[in-house]
């Protein structure tokens, strides 16, 4: 009986061990399954994040049509459209060559052989004046007039301002002598003072022409006396005049009709100088204020037998300035009025 109880207890203990073992296996299995599931979910989440990141990156690269696009390229400069200009007729002019431009932007308004080669004659002297202003800033400085320039000038019948050998005028007075009466004596004096010699000065003239883009211009002297290799075009002269007009000193001189130089030992009362262009308007009883309201302000004449009558001038109309270059006016009369008549005609056509 005791043995039966003992066996029964052993069976119970055995069954309990079996149940515990089964439970342990089940628990371990569940833990394994849960671990695997968690690992799987974690991997899914990581893949999802990677996919989202890739999508965002692709979206950024491709651009979102609903979002504003940032353009990092530098802004292009917008060139303002030039104001349109009136086209002026060249009918009825005495000159064989003429070019009219608006001074502010050199917009072409009339072109009659304006790019063909001409002899500039004394229009050359605006370059002589420009280089002097740039290189001799003290207008009160006195310069001795060389004695040896006069024989050549007399031989060529060059126009002179009236300075004497060894006279000591100021730079200012010499500039007036260049631009008003077209004095070759004043030109030669300034050329030596600036360039050391006329040859040195002419080299500076050609260098300045190159700097200004005057590709159809070449100088051989500072006066404009005829030389076959001394040439320009109406367009180049217009560009040169535009550069000259940037100088207040140049403007002040070239718009003056009459000027008296300072007293010197040679000229105790000074020399009275008359502007050739403006004096012609007065002499021929022509007004520089035209019927349309245009005002001819100043200019530089020129003449040789080969060049004909020439003129570079500037006028104001309607708040704008205009530059006109005319050359080779060779009518039967050969009158000095031909070039200023052309200026009156052209500026009078402005509307």
* Residues carrying an active site annotation: 122, 125, 182
At residue 112, what are phi and psi to the nearest 5 degrees?
A: -120, 90
Alpha helices in the chain (DSSP H): 2-62, 125-135, 150-155, 171-179, 184-195, 198-211, 234-244, 248-254, 276-283, 337-347
CA separation for the pair 79, 255 (Å, rounded): 34
- Give yes or no for a contact between 185 and 205, defined as CB atoms under 8 angstroms apart: no
CB contact at 8 A, 272 and 299 = no
Task: Report how far residue 300's alpha carbon sits from residue 312's, in angstroms, rounded to the nearest whole number.
Answer: 5
Exposed (0-12), middle (13-18) or buried (19+): which is 94, by Cβ within 10 Å? buried
Residue 302 · residue 310 · CB < 8 Å: yes
Q: Can you name the residues that pair with 308 across neighbouring β-strands?
A: 304
Tokens 């002179």, residue? 160
Residue tagged 């076959």 (tokens): 228
Q: Which of 300, 262, 93, 271 is nearest to 172 (CA)?
A: 262
> What SS3 class is residue 109?
strand
Q: How far apart are CA 271 and CA 151, in angstroms?
A: 21
Q: 133 near 247, Cβ under 8 Å?
A: yes
């Amino acid at each position: 009986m005791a043995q039966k109880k003992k066996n029964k207890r052993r069976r119970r203990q055995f069954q309990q061990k079996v149940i515990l073992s089964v439970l342990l296996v089940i628990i371990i299995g569940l833990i394994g399954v849960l671990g695997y599931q968690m690992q799987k979910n974690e991997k899914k989440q990581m893949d999802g994040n990677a996919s989202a990141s890739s999508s965002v990156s692709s979206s950024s690269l491709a651009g979102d049509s609903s979002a504003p696009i940032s353009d990092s390229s530098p802004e292009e400069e917008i060139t303002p459209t030039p104001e349109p200009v009136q086209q002026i007729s060249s009918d009825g002019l005495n000159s064989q060559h003429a070019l009219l431009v608006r001074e502010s932007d050199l917009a072409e308004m009339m072109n009659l052989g304006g790019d063909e080669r001409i002899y500039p004659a004394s229009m050359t002297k605006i370059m002589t004046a420009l280089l002097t202003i740039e290189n001799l800033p003290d207008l009160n400085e006195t310069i001795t007039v060389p004695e040896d320039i006069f024989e050549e000038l007399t031989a060529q019948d060059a126009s002179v301002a009236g300075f004497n050998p060894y006279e000591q005028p100021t730079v200012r007075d010499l500039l007036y002598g260049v631009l008003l009466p077209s004095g070759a004596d004043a030109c030669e004096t300034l050329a030596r003072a600036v360039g050391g010699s006329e040859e040195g000065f002419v080299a500076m003239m050609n260098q300045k022409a190159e700097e200004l883009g005057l590709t159809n211009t070449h100088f051989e002297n500072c006066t404009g006396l005829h030389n076959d290799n001394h040439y320009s075009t109406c367009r180049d002269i217009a560009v040169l005049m535009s550069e000259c007009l940037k100088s207040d000193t140049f403007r002040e001189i070239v718009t003056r009709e009459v000027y008296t130089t300072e007293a010197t030992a040679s000229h105790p009362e000074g020399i009275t100088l008359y502007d050739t262009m403006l004096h012609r308007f007065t002499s021929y009883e022509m007004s520089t204020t035209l019927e349309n309201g245009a005002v001819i302000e100043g200019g530089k004449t020129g003449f040789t037998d080969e060049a004909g009558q020439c003129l570079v001038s500037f006028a104001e109309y309607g708040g704008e300035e205009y530059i006109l270059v005319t050359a080779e006016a060779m009518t039967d009369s050969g009158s000095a009025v031909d070039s200023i008549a052309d200026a009156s005609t052209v500026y009078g056509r402005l509307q």
